[in-house]
Structure 1
Amino acid sequence: IVKSLLSQERTTFNGEHFQITNAPCEPKPVQSPLPILVGTGGARMLRLTARFAEEWNTWGTPEVAGDVIQKLRIACEKEGRDPATVRTSVQPLFFLCASDEAVEKLRPLVPADRSVLGTPSQIVDAVGQYKELGFDEICVPDFTLGNSPSERLDSYATFWNEVAVHFR
């Protein structure tokens, strides 16, 4: 339905769960076709990702994301799709800490399954693991990098100069 709405003048669809008649969707996207990105880690949605999406995004530590990317590859194979045709991205919750002591103080306060916390060198190691797992892109959300805009900018500068520099 979505692909038709984004590419056709009008769309009619009569399915078991959804019905639309002569539906317009305007304005049309500038990019054609608009790539479908699905963010998920669940088995059912991974099957739908393998069937319909151009890109997939997930959360998680390297261990969690590594397990899920493998499940996506299996879902692609079951759909008869080459897993390399799905662009992959991961968005862990990065917590950049100045010291090992700061890491240990913060660790019990963050979600363990999706957080990557550490000093810049520890974050470099984690980013390297995502790269080895085959992720095409790593998204760095800003809401974990500080409480104020200036703290976030400082953290981004540290991330860029001490982490990202290793992967350019």
Structure 2
Amino acid sequence: MRVSALVLQSQTWPSAADTWRAIESSGVETAYVADHLTHPRLTGAWLADPWTTLAAAAGVTTRLRLGTLVASAVFRTPATLARMAATVQDISGGRFVLGLGAGVALDGIADRGQPTEQAERHARFVDVVKGLRAVWAGERSHEGQVLSFGELDLLPQAPGRDAPPLVLAGHGPQGLALVADEGDGWSTYGGPAVVGLGRSEFWALLHRQAQALTTACERAGRDPATLERSVLVGYAAYRPVESVASFLDEAASAEAAGFDEICLYWPTEVAGAALATELAVVLEAVAQVAARP
């Protein structure tokens, strides 16, 4: 079981640089940043740009994989997202993981002042995913349902670099079908339904989602074992890293549900009471999970 961390970009860079070095030393394999323009849980907080942060983090780390959890298709487009991802992939020496999701309505409003329905966000998500694949395949133009590009004459990746793995977020039938069709990996926090759930209810939901993804893979003619699976814990109504023992239980539950990676919120001052964890507890919990065979 791999351990990863979501690092909410709340620190100014002099402090953040030390945080990224500490994460690399902790045994965490991948550290992710969030891609939000606004968020109701972060009212009044500073949240640095994720792409600039990842490029800076690449400069103060050497082994740690770096990623987005997740880039937001509601305000990203294929050609620009592909260029940003390729740049971080190059700067990091090939350590980048592109997590991508449909995004939330509030970010669309923050970006364009226009509300969007779930069906619209899903259509845009599909176009961003398929558009990314088209860019990476070297296509000069691509026509989507709502997003297209053309006259793209530059290299899709820096010379000598491969495209990063594409890890897609999905919770419902349409999202999981897209993951099965296009993803190199799957990322979930359970979806909005987890808010208010206790531990047993949360893991029951994750088991159902994991089985639904397996079914989607089988329908798509794909071996489910070819898809990496990652779960973010901490958004439900309980604290998964309240103690070392509680996180060991979470890791065991994740493994039982078929996940390859468990992601926790790294302690930051912006996380608030619901997501707060003690750094010493996190460090010991990560060390114990990492030490398991």
Please give the TM-score of this superposition, normalised by the length of structure 2: 0.43
> Closer, same or farther in 2 for the Cα pair 1:11/1:81, shift >3 Å?
same
Residues 77-99 of structure 1, C-alpha deviations (whole Å, 9 max, x = no match): 01010001111100111xxxxxx
- Superimposed CA distance per residue, residues 44-69 of structure 1 (whole angstroms, 9 cap, x where no aligned partner): 01001100110110014322222211
Between Structure 1 and Structure 2, which shows a larger proportion of strand residues? 1
Where 1:21 maps in the other structure, the secondary structure is coil
Q: CA deviation at 1:161?
A: 1.5
Question: Secondary structure of 1:158's match?
Answer: helix
Note closer, same or farther for the CA distance 1:166–1:116 as it changes in structure 2 (3 Å cut). Answer: closer
1:133: how far off? 1.4
Question: Which residue number corresponds to residue 151 of structure 2?
Answer: 22
3-state SS in 2 of match to 1:159: helix
- Structure 1 equivalent of residue 215 of structure 2: 74
2:283 corresponds in structure 1 to 160
Provide Cα deviations, 1:14-61, integer angstroms capped at 9, x if missing partner: 355444333246662664233211112121010011001101100143
| In 2, Cα distance between equivalents of 1:56 and 1:42 | 12
Higher relative contact order (CA 8 A, sep 6+): 2
Q: Give the alignment's Cα RMSD to 1 decimal.
A: 3.0
Match of 1:147 in 2: 269
Does the 8 Å contact 2:247/2:285 carry over to 1? no
Q: What is the match of residue 55 of structure 1?
A: 185
2-side partners of 1:22 and 1:118: how far apart? 52
The 2-side partners of 1:115 and 1:46 are apart by 27
1:128 aligns with 2:252: yes
The aligned residue for residue 107 of structure 1 is none
The question of whether the paired residues in 2 share the 8 Å contact of 1:120 and 1:159 is answered with yes
Partner residue in 1 for 2:240? 116
Q: Contact 1:50 / 1:76 at 8 angstroms: preserved in 2?
A: yes
**Alignment partners' CA distance in 2, 1:42 and 1:131:** 21
Q: Which ranges in structure 1 are unaligned for 5 or more consecutive residues?
A: 94-109
- The residue aligned with 1:85 is 226
Residue type at the aligned position of 1:11: R
Counterpart Cα distance in 2 of 1:48 and 1:124: 31
1:102-127 deviation line (CA, Å, top 9, x unaligned): xxxxxxxx743x86364321221121
Structure 1 position 137 matched with structure 2 position 267: no
Aligned partner of 2:23 in structure 1 is none
Equivalent residue of 1:56, what SS? Answer: strand
Shift of the 115–54 alpha-carbon distance from structure 1 to 2, 3 Å rule, reads farther
Residue matched to 2:169: 39
Q: Distance in 1 between matches of 2:286 and 2:147?
A: 46
Tell me how far apart the structure 2 counterparts of residues 157 and 27 of structure 1 sit (CA, whole Å): 42
For the Cα contact (< 8 Å) 1:54–1:86, is it kept in 2?
A: yes
Q: Is the 8 A contact 2:243 2:281 kept in 1?
A: no
Q: Percent identity?
A: 23
Q: Distance in 2 between matches of 1:33 and 1:47?
A: 22
**One-letter code aligned to 1:134:** G
- How many residues are aligned here? 145
Structure 1 counterpart of 2:284, one-letter code: N
